[in-house]
Amino acid sequence: MGREQQTYKSTNVILFYNIKNKLQQNIIMVERQPQALSVLDIMRSQVEYMDMCDCRSGEKVIYKCDEEECPNFIKQKLYCSRCMVKTKHNHIPTHIAIESQNTSDDWNTLRQNAKSLVDNLVAFVELHRRFLEALDRYLANEDQRFMKKLDMSKELLTGIENFYKENVNDRAVRGDILGLQTLRNDFSEFKRRLEQLEFLIKIGPAALWRLYNGIIQQVGTHQILENYPSHSCEVFLFLKSYLLCIKINELEDRLTQSAVAQIQALQQKFEEVKAELLVAREEQQLERNQNLNRIEQLTLKMKSINSVILDDETKQRKMFTFFEQAGTPLMQSHLLYRGTISTFAAAEFHKLCDNRSKTLTIVRTTEGIIVGGYTSQFWNSTSSYKVDPTAWVFNLDQPNIFKVKPGGNNAIYANNDRGPTFGCGHILYIANTANINTCGYVNQSASYENLENINLFQRQGTTQFQVTEVEVFQV
């Protein structure tokens, strides 16, 4: 049989990672450079440093010859405007001021990038120093360690700044274009060293993966989660998720029948890591904001009911509220029966739900009305009412549950030929194959509070219905 292939994209784990607010606040942004001067301004500022042209015109040089085919390429590299004639330099000239400025801009860009690298790494270390030192201990090659990369970045920045002050700045001010050209090899070497560290400028899990991908499997998840702050745990869980994505994709590429179990185990582990990551992120947000509403959302995510009827957060919250009204907060749930999967036959319901206590029944009618009930009793019986002081029924559109009356008599009616049925007179009756008939109904009942004179649909007398879904959970 064909199997739908699911690809786990490791890039999804990394690319959407955001460095935390504290890091963003601490990153020292590179100062913007002043607005560039015009060519005329640059020429005016440099003219006093320029040499006189060797043509003896009394003018200073302002152009540079870059045309190797020019007859004066060797003997007159720099020249004045009077030398820009056919017999001397019959080609488009290069302005000394422009080339000097371009070279100076290249050096300043190099300096800015090196400073940005160091500032970002320092800010990241302030957040994660202990965590990074722990990962570094797993790396045998010291040159691959994060803290070593930080030292290399600082050393590079210091080297660039010292070299610029000693060799570049004065030449740039004077427009010494020939002198600046002699520094090209030095510039290329600094740039090469920076490019080797460039992946660390946008510091985050993607950069850390390049450093630690070979050892991340050796690091125990619990060791990190128990000993380091939540923002460091979140980075670690991103790295673990990345690793699991890669393993799953490798297995998918060479999948055989015998590998299915391994795939499923990795998928389960991946989901567990994702859950831990979500919890870690939520916990960090809660620590910063102390937002009680987020605690409630996190709890709801962890305890949500796997229901196709309660298909949004509002319905899920309503159900949790109903359990709180009953005095037994819902902590977990397990799907026993769903009509659209197991058929709507009463026999199938009893096969899956008999001898199961503490069950929640949820019903959706063709009108979109959602009703149901809870009982701690078993559903198996030939035909009898059962006592259950803890039973209650609900209509999701109503604010409160309807509790069984004190004593719990006639709380439910168990019959092998019927689906879930509550109350004397059947306050809620799910018929056999209720999806293709209207034999099921709601009725008024003396067994439950506030339903003596009105049925569960909030109408008078008996109301028949057909269902689109029935679910039963053990809770």
Tens digits of per-residue pLDDT, 110-149? 999 999 999 999 999 998 999 999 999 999 998 889 999 9
Residue 360 pLDDT > 60: yes
What's the pLDDT at 204?
78
Q: How many alpha carbons fall within 13 Å on the CB side of residue 463? A: 16
Query: Quick one: 167 exposed, middle or buried, by C-beta within 10 A (0-12, 13-18, 19+)?
Result: middle
* Rounded Cα gap, residues 380 and 401, in angstroms: 25
Averaged pLDDT score across all residues of the chain: 83
**Residues in the chain, total:** 475
Burial of 188 (0-12, 13-18, 19+ CB in 10 A): exposed
134 φψ region: left (φ > 0), alpha (ψ -120 to 50), beta (else)? alpha
pLDDT of res. 289: 67
* Whole-number Å distance between alpha carbons of 473 and 225: 33
Residue 256's pLDDT band, with cuts at 50, 70 and 90, is low
- Strands of the sheet containing 421-422, edge to edge, are 383-386, 412-415, 421-422, 428-429, 440-442, 463-465
What gap in Å lies between CA 256 and CA 247, rounded to an integer? 15
Q: With contact defined as beta carbons under 8 Å apart, do 423 and 455 qualify? A: no
Per the model's pLDDT, the better-predicted residue between 78 and 327 turns out to be 327
Contact by Cβ (8 Å): 389, 412: no
Structure tokens at 239: 């790295």
Q: What is the mean pLDDT of residues 142-161?
A: 93
Residue located via tokens 């000097």: 100
pLDDT tens string 257-306 = 556 667 677 777 777 777 777 777 777 667 666 655 655 555 555 567 89
End-to-end distance of the chain based on CA atoms, in angstroms?
Answer: 36
pLDDT at 38: 53
**Single pTM value for the model:** 0.44
Judge whether residue 212 has pLDDT over 50. Answer: yes
In this predicted model, which residue has the larger pLDDT, 32 or 85? Answer: 85
Taking residues 43-60, report their average pLDDT.
73
- Structure tokens given for 142: 């010291």
Give me the mean pLDDT over the 373-402 stretch. 95
**Buried b / exposed e along 105-143 (16+ C-beta atoms within 10 A):** eebeebbebbbbbbbbbebbbebbeebbebbbeebeeee
Listed residue (116, 299, 87, 301) closest to 194, CA to CA:
116
pLDDT at 294: 58
Report which of 319, 339, 337 is spatially closest to residue 328, judged by C-alpha positions.
Answer: 319
Binned at pLDDT 50, 70 and 90, residue 41 comes out as low
Contact 224, 236 (CB under 8 A): yes
